[in-house]
């Protein structure tokens, strides 16, 4: 079974390749903006993969839990 971090890192690589492919098209409207969006997405995915790998593939480290009663953000798991 593949690790979650490996799957996410692979998606990051695919986003980079898509960004480069779009940027290299000679007649593509909104080319610069699309490239930027895809590269930011690739960086975010790579960061998430690194966080998962450092935290033993526990996906709970990617989320912030919130307490709805007083709208304060906490890192504690709520029941």
In a domain, 32, yes or no: yes
* Average pLDDT estimate for 45-67: 88
* Average pLDDT estimate for 5-13: 96
In a domain, 8, yes or no: yes
In a domain, 79, yes or no: no
Domain range for 9 is: 4-74
pLDDT of amino acid 26: 87
Q: Which two tokens stand for residue 78?
A: 């709520």
pLDDT greater at residue 42 or residue 67: 42
Q: Band of the pLDDT at 38, cuts 50, 70, 90?
A: very high
Residue 22 has pLDDT above 60, yes or no: yes
The pTM assigned to this predicted structure is 0.76
Structural domain count of the chain = 1
Query: Cα(60)–Cα(12) distance, rounded to whole angstroms?
Result: 20
The 10 Å Cβ neighbour count of residue 46 is 18
Query: Cα(68)–Cα(22) distance, rounded to whole angstroms?
Result: 42
């Amino acid at each position: 079974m593949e690790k979650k971090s490996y799957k996410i890192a692979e998606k990051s690589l695919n986003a980079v390749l898509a960004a480069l492919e779009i940027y290299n098209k000679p007649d593509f409207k909104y080319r610069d903006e699309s490239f930027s969006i895809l590269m930011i997405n690739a960086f975010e995915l790579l960061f998430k993969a690194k966080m998962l790998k450092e935290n033993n593939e526990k996906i709970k480290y990617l989320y912030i839990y919130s307490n709805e009663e007083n709208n304060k953000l906490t890192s504690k798991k709520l029941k």
